[in-house]
Chains A and B, each alone.
Chain A
Amino acid sequence: MKRKGYLEIIRLSKEYGEVKALREVKLTVPQGQWLTVMGPSGSGKTTLLSLIAGLIKPTRGKVKIGGVDIFSLSDNQLLQFRREKIGLIFQQHHLIPYLTALENVMLAQFIHSLPDEAEAIDSLIKVGLADKINRYPRELSGGEQQRVCIARALINNPGLLLADEPTGNLDRKNSELVLNLLSKLHQESNFTIVLVTHDPWVARWGERIVQLEDGKVVDDFLVQKSRGRKR
């Protein structure tokens, strides 16, 4: 019997003119799974992530999140869906430079529904930034900025977290800090993660790895626990 997942990608294709970025990708990700998408540059990782987030429209195929076909929604409904169900983390942090860490998190709350300062402070404490809530992004290190991004992405309790090279700009020490944090929050809240990376070391933090090449899934396997998650 076919297993129904929280995230279902059904024969998904994306073409940019003559360039076929994704070709008939099929994936099912159960609730709470940490999926890592790996592949060389130009293999379609970021395109896949953008499609899952509903940021771009597919040429063919469907993406279902929690049973909802996101491309059957109107633009406004999709916007609302994304606000409530999806958290996004990018390699470039995309923090608002003239807002403090706290205000950046509260902005996400505001866009979702209402700002709640106490809740935002709690989330920053959880990511280990208790003493830096009123700092501006330029006053934070790369790792700290990424932790603010994690707090911002998770503040609205999304069911799905999409991370595009979240440690791409960080050194190994800071990467480990960020991934440790992500792992801890994942275990606590059981949200689904789709993380895109080209770094095998980062990929091993997940539970399952999908290998993309030339827009196609060429490998799909579960991470052996015996390999260990660290280094």
Chain B
Amino acid sequence: MKETITLALSRAFEFCLLLSFSYLYFKNQRDRRLFFLLALGASFGFLLGFLLNLLQMPFAYQLKAWLTKAELIFRGGLLILVFLSSLIAEMLEGRERLDQLKPRFLIYSLLFMTGVVFVGFEGFDLCLKLQSQSFLKMTDYPYYLGAAVFLGFSFLWLLAFRLVVIYLFEFLERVQAPVLTFPVLVYLIVGLRSFFRPELFSSLEVIAARLLHDCVHWLIVFLVFPDHPFLRESFWKLVALAFRKETGLIFNLLLVLALGLWVFMRTYFLPYPPFSEAKSPAERRKFKAELRSRRIYSTRFIFVSWILFSLAAYNSYSSGKSLYFPEPKLLVVDRQGKVSFFSGELDDLMEHRYSFNYRDQTVRLLAIRKPDGKTAVCLDDCLICPPDGYAQLGKDLFCLYCGTPIPIDTVGSPGGCNPIPLKFKIKKGKIVLEANSAFREWVKNNR
């Protein structure tokens, strides 16, 4: 309970701080350096956290406890200071509120230090993992690896610092507000969970994923493609091409490239306006150059897409640890061609996976009792993705191939991303189903 409360409070802290930054930013759109300093501080904090932990390795655990307490106090103090700054900014009149704050150095320092503290924990955490590795394996190898990682990061940070001092301030002057706000939103959705418990999904992330899933499900399955067997199956076969291992990568690459190309065409090749307000040829050239520069900037969307793509990939890669994914229990096909298992096994309301061998194929099943007491038995497979199966996390099942969340309430209903439902009977406390029909469905979807 204590851990949960701490976690919830920490997340609330971080959320509030990010809101404050967004607020400060919108109050003072001219000063893009604020965000830059936050990012710079964050990267520095990562190194600092790493260094602090590295210094105390391998035995100074007291120091670690002390540092953790100090860090928490510092975080709280910073939060108060940031809110105070917001308040001062609000109280000042005029459009350039933050510009009037003297010295602005205070704000800059705050942002920088906040970044340091926030991400410092990441570095600390990473080093802690290496430390436990070192302890468990009775070797110093991870310790040296940690030192190497630290040196690598230090070098990259110094390099980045040098480059941004030269180029980034100028670049930031030209960045539009939505472009800077978008990473903050992405950070809110993707990054929050990673500060304290990297293995957990954040509630916000699950809500976002579920919302997306529901939108797609309702819009495509029910509105665009009515529940017609022929249309649905052929359509989903086509959709499946985009997700299969053989073709999925190419499809996704094409999608991202096409998106980038579209943005490029849309912005870069538009004809120049007449520049009727220009008083001289030089002024006309200037307008033209500014427009061209804006267009070139717009094409940076492509790179932003790629960064988001990488973030999503990282997120998927690092999030699967706490998913519940039991090994399938092997069932035997009886003489009547039926497979069965005890209904009581599902009383824990958790996902149960089974498999049986039939005609040289292994068919996998998924069974779960839903919160309303109804039982669902399905193939551990859907109409779209390859059969990597479903894992459970809270009130959702997650497709392990594409990461789509399926609310457990909807398991047992047919539909693109849902596991394919099977007919079954309950006899003498056992759930019984036809092996042959399950086999036919399995083969049909995995040809």
Give chain A's interface residues, CB within 8 Å of chain B.
Answer: 76, 84, 109, 112-114, 116, 119, 155-157
Is B283 in contact with A157, judged by CB distance below 8 angstroms?
Answer: yes
Give the CA-CA distance A114 to B289 in the complex, in Å.
6
Q: Known contacts A112-B282, A114-B289, A116-B285; can you find 18 more A-B pairs with CB under 8 A?
A: A76-B170, A84-B282, A109-B285, A112-B285, A112-B286, A113-B282, A113-B285, A113-B286, A113-B288, A113-B289, A113-B290, A114-B285, A116-B281, A119-B281, A157-B280, A157-B281, A157-B282, A157-B283
Nearest Cβ in chain A — how far from B284, in angstroms? 9
Is A114 in contact with B288, judged by CB distance below 8 angstroms?
Answer: yes
Q: Please give me the residue from chain A that is nearest to B170 by CB atom.
A: A76
Q: Which of B285, B288, B289, B292 has the most CB of A within 10 A?
A: B285
Residues of chain B contacted by A112 (CB below 8 angstroms): 282, 285-286
Give the CA-CA distance A113 to B285 in the complex, in Å.
6
- Using A113-B288, A113-B289, A114-B289 as known contacts, say yes or no to A156 and B170 having CB atoms under 8 A apart: no
Identify whether the interface residues of A are mostly helix, strand, loop, or mixed: loop
Is B170 in contact with A155, judged by CB distance below 8 angstroms?
Answer: no
Q: Which of B282, B285, B286, B288 has the most CB of A within 10 A?
A: B282
Task: Count B interface residues, CB 8 Å.
Answer: 11
Q: Which of A116, A119, A155, A157 has the most CB of B within 10 A?
A: A157
Give the CA-CA distance A155 to B286 in the complex, in Å.
12
Residues of chain A contacted by B292 (CB below 8 angstroms): 114
Residues of chain A contacted by B289 (CB below 8 angstroms): 113-114
Q: Please give me the residue from chain B that is nearest to A109 by CB atom.
A: B285
The contact sample of 13 A-B pairs, CB cut-off 8 A, is: A109-B282, A112-B285, A112-B286, A113-B286, A113-B288, A114-B289, A116-B281, A116-B285, A119-B281, A119-B285, A156-B282, A157-B282, A157-B283
Residues of chain B contacted by A113 (CB below 8 angstroms): 282, 285-286, 288-290
Nearest Cβ in chain B — how far from A151, in angstroms? 13
Residues of chain B contacted by A155 (CB below 8 angstroms): 282
Is B286 in contact with A84, judged by CB distance below 8 angstroms?
Answer: yes
Q: Please give me the residue from chain A that is nearest to B282 by CB atom.
A: A157
> Which residues 255-285 of B have a CB within 8 angstroms of A?
280-283, 285
Nearest Cβ in chain A — how far from B35, in angstroms? 18
Nearest Cβ in chain B — how far from A190, in angstroms? 12
Nearest Cβ in chain A — how far from B375, in angstroms? 69
Give the CA-CA distance A157 to B281 in the complex, in Å.
8
Residues of chain A contacted by B281 (CB below 8 angstroms): 116, 119, 157
Residues of chain A contacted by B285 (CB below 8 angstroms): 109, 112-114, 116, 119
Residues of chain A contacted by B283 (CB below 8 angstroms): 157
Residues of chain A contacted by B282 (CB below 8 angstroms): 84, 109, 112-113, 155-157
Nearest Cβ in chain B — how far from A154, in angstroms? 9
Nearest Cβ in chain B — how far from A81, in angstroms? 13
Give the CA-CA distance A119 to B284 in the complex, in Å.
11
Give the CA-CA distance A15 to B133 in the complex, in Å.
64
Residues of chain B contacted by A156 (CB below 8 angstroms): 282
Give the CA-CA distance A114 to B292 in the complex, in Å.
10
Residues of chain A contacted by B286 (CB below 8 angstroms): 84, 112-113
Give the CA-CA distance A119 to B282 in the complex, in Å.
9
Nearest Cβ in chain A — how far from B268, in angstroms? 15
Give the CA-CA distance A116 to B288 in the complex, in Å.
11
Q: Please give me the residue from chain B that is nearest to A154 by CB atom.
A: B282
Give the CA-CA distance A116 to B275 in the complex, in Å.
15
Nearest Cβ in chain B — how far from A133, in angstroms? 17
Nearest Cβ in chain B — how far from A111, in angstroms? 11
Nearest Cβ in chain A — how far from B100, in angstroms? 16
Residues of chain B contacted by A119 (CB below 8 angstroms): 281, 285
Residues of chain B contacted by A76 (CB below 8 angstroms): 170
Scan B214-231; emit 1 where CB is below 8 A from any A CB, else 0.
000000000000000000
